Amino acid sequence: MAANCVRFAASLLGKGVNGASPTNPVTLQLYRQICGTSALRRKNLAAAGPEKFTPEFIQKQIEEFEIGKRHLANMMGEDPENFNQEDIDRSIAYLFPSGLFEKKARPLMKHPDEIFPKQRAVQWGPDGRPFHFLFYTGKQSYYSLMHELYGKVLNIEKHQDRLREKGLFSTETKQISLGTSRWLTKEELEELLVETISTHDYDRFIQLMEHMLSMAYSSLEEEFILRHRQQLEAQTMHQVVPPLQKDDKGVDFSTAEGKRKTSKSSVVVRDCGSGSITINGEDYLHYFPVLQDREQLMFPLQFTGLLGRFDLECTVSGGGRSSQAGALRLAISRALLSFVSEGEGEAMRQAGLLTLDPRVRERKKPGQEGARRKFTWKKR
Amino acid sequence: MAARALTKGLLGLRHVRGATVKFSNTGHHFATSSSIKSSEPQTNAVTEKILNLPLEKPDLFRVSELFSLKDLFDARVHLGHKKGCRHRLMEPYLYDSSLDYDIIDLDKTVEHLQLALNTTAETAYRGGIILFVSRRRQFCHLVETTAKDCGEYAHTRYWQGGLLTNAHIQYSPGVRLPDLIIFLSTLNNVFQQHVAIRDAAKMKIPTIGVVDSNCNPSLITYPVPGNDDTPVAMELYCHLFKMTINRAKDKRRQMELLHGLSKPSVSSS
């Protein structure tokens, strides 16, 4: 709307005009310009809070998404019925190729439920009565959870009292097997309840849960407790061992790849050899005149004590001499995994032979001479 | 369900007609369509008659039968705090003090309690929203269970500043505020008067409050002098309020069935 902030005030001069008859008063209308600023009428957008979407709007978006999905499938020449999210992502990446670094800035097409934040629908019926009995507290899900939890604690205490009366109370009861699990984090709890909680509230919740766990007969509410615990995933990363192959002469060999900085290498390690190493068709002594690089090549073989046993055929490209040597070392270590036992493999991992070196060249920044070096500071 | 929705759309202090609402929140699927435009004038008159019924008879809900003075005495409602804690405005409600412990006059309590229960019954009969408030940690669970059992609302947690006065921002715009607030204990955790009493007075919401000898009864519409510290007394109050509200709601449903406004439980609600 155009911010037309000029208003006109009309003043009527009714009385005081002589000669005007009561039946026909002379009204003189004068217009006075009042300038009001648009700043007064500008809405405070920050105070409005996050944008709210009506359920009808979300429904419309879902319909549009479904139709769009079918169009996309037709465009790509695939079956519209069995077009799942991976196919959508693939098609969008094909139709709208983007070189942007930030993955979130690239074009995407996802189901509206994943894009629009989950919001609560209207909390009351047509007569205005809210659905939830704790609605007027403001944090209904959290307080109803606490109410339920406390009810369960009281339940367990009542059960324990009943057993004590009969004299059947004993502390050696079946304890809940927690295994490797932890309590849900505050973020996960917020997600579960679809509303924000403060740290204080979360601490209270954990306190009460711990109290319930400490009671002897807490196994009564096992299901409820486990619902609020998260299993810890095993942290170990499996080492992918390259498969041991046999060539037509019956000799074992295995292939592996490695990289370091901008170098990429591929190595074929053959058994029953004499310790000869060929890189890009050349002998390693010619390819790496520097001792340091040759030492890098030898290190995995020397560590496992299999120096003279294998023949290595290597190819390497990119980078400089040091990074090529590092790439080859990684490739050799990976290939050796298939010839060596698990314990030895673990020893190699701990020695750092199997770790990909993540160090890459840091970019130069504007206003500086290099990545870290600043221009010479002049006092004046 | 549809029948109940229909009656809910008719009664209540705000008349919402022809509302078709769909919710996508899990667990709260509610759709209603009131298409009663043809018989509107008749239903209006019938509703008026139903609503005016309690005003004609003095004790339609027979609230006085729910309790006797002896029940109050057995539940130790007459026990007050020590003389040092006494509030000046509570002096008219006190009977005597023995060994410095104040004793509340149970005759007055009976009258006030009857008035209070009558008001709750009438509000529940008209489909008003009743909010139970108590800031005593001991009885928080009890009060919330009472509210859940009668189908009304409870707030026994930390009272955020603008819940009543700033409702359109604290909740969503278009929220309906409670029509009656029942305080089962008027003090908060630091022994000061609960903020909700003042806020309810500001928003012109009638209040019922159990006032002990250390409380200020001035801003409460229907004060009920009585003990708010003993578990027995609190259970008695919760029981009484629950019984009145359930009775009033049953009576309302009965009246509507009688006058044929809703079909007798074809769709179970």
pLDDT of residue B225: 95
B12–A120 C-beta distance less than 8 A: no
- The continuous run of DSSP H or E covering A35 comes out as strand A28-35
pLDDT of residue B42: 63
Q: Chain-wide mean pLDDT for chain A?
A: 86
Q: Which residues pair with B82 in a beta bridge?
A: B101
DSSP letter (8 states) at residue A123:
-
Q: Which residues of B touch A154 (CB under 8 A)?
A: 141
The residue with greater pLDDT, A240 or B118, is B118
> How close A70 comes to chain B (CA, Å)?
25
Closest CA to A242 of A257, A228, A227, A231: A257
A127–B16 C-beta distance less than 8 A: yes
8 Å CB contact between B133 and B156: yes
pLDDT of residue B28: 40
Q: Which residues of A touch B154 (CB under 8 A)?
A: 133-134, 136
B178–A127 C-beta distance less than 8 A: no
Q: Of the ranges A54-63, A317-326, B146-155, which one carries the lowest mean pLDDT score?
A: A54-63
Q: Which residues of A touch B30 (CB under 8 A)?
A: 125, 131
A136–B8 C-beta distance less than 8 A: no
Encoded amino acid at B5, one letter: A
Question: Strand, coil or helix: what is A32?
Answer: strand
B5–A133 C-beta distance less than 8 A: no
Q: Which residues of B touch A136 (CB under 8 A)?
A: 131, 153-155, 163, 178
Give the number of residues written for chain A: 380
Closest-CA residue in chain A for B25? A121
Check whether B6 has a pLDDT greater than 70: no
B19: pLDDT confidence band, cut at 50, 70 and 90? Answer: very low
Q: Dihedral through CA A216, CA A217, CA A219, CA A220, nearest 10?
A: -160
Binding-site residues on chain A for chain B (CB distance < 8 A): 55, 58-59, 120-131, 133-139, 143, 147, 150-151, 154
Token pair in block for residue B263 = 């079909």
Check whether B4 has a pLDDT greater than 50: no
8 Å CB contact between B14 and B176: yes
A173: pLDDT confidence band, cut at 50, 70 and 90? Answer: confident
8 Å CB contact between A371 and A363: yes
Encode pLDDT of B210-253 as tens digits: 999 999 999 999 999 999 999 999 999 999 999 999 999 999 99
Strands B180-183 and B207-211: parallel
Query: Distance between CA A209 and CA A206 in Å, rounded?
Result: 5
- The residue-averaged pLDDT of A163-176 equals 84
Closest CA to B243 of B111, B59, B75, B63: B63
- The residue-averaged pLDDT of B23-45 equals 46
B25–A138 C-beta distance less than 8 A: no
Encode pLDDT of A270-325 as tens digits: 988 888 999 999 999 999 999 999 999 999 999 999 888 899 999 999 999 999 99
Q: What is the ipTM of this complex?
A: 0.79
> Above pLDDT 70, what percent of chain A?
89
- The residue-averaged pLDDT of B139-164 equals 94
The residue with greater pLDDT, A31 or A297, is A297
Give me the long-range contacts of A117-122 (CB less than 8 A, separation at least 24): A117/A50, A118/A194, A119/A52, A119/A53, A120/A194, A120/A195, A120/B25, A121/A55, A121/B23, A121/B24, A121/B25, A121/B28, A122/B21, A122/B23, A122/B172
Q: Which residues pair with A380 in a beta bridge?
A: none
Q: Chain-wide mean pLDDT for chain B?
A: 82
8 Å CB contact between A184 and A192: yes
8 Å CB contact between B31 and B4: no
Query: Distance between CA B240 and CA A268 in Å, rounded?
Result: 87
Closest CA to A4 of A29, A41, A59, A57: A41
Phi, psi of A361 (to 5 degrees): -65, 130
Check whether B178 has a pLDDT greater than 80: yes
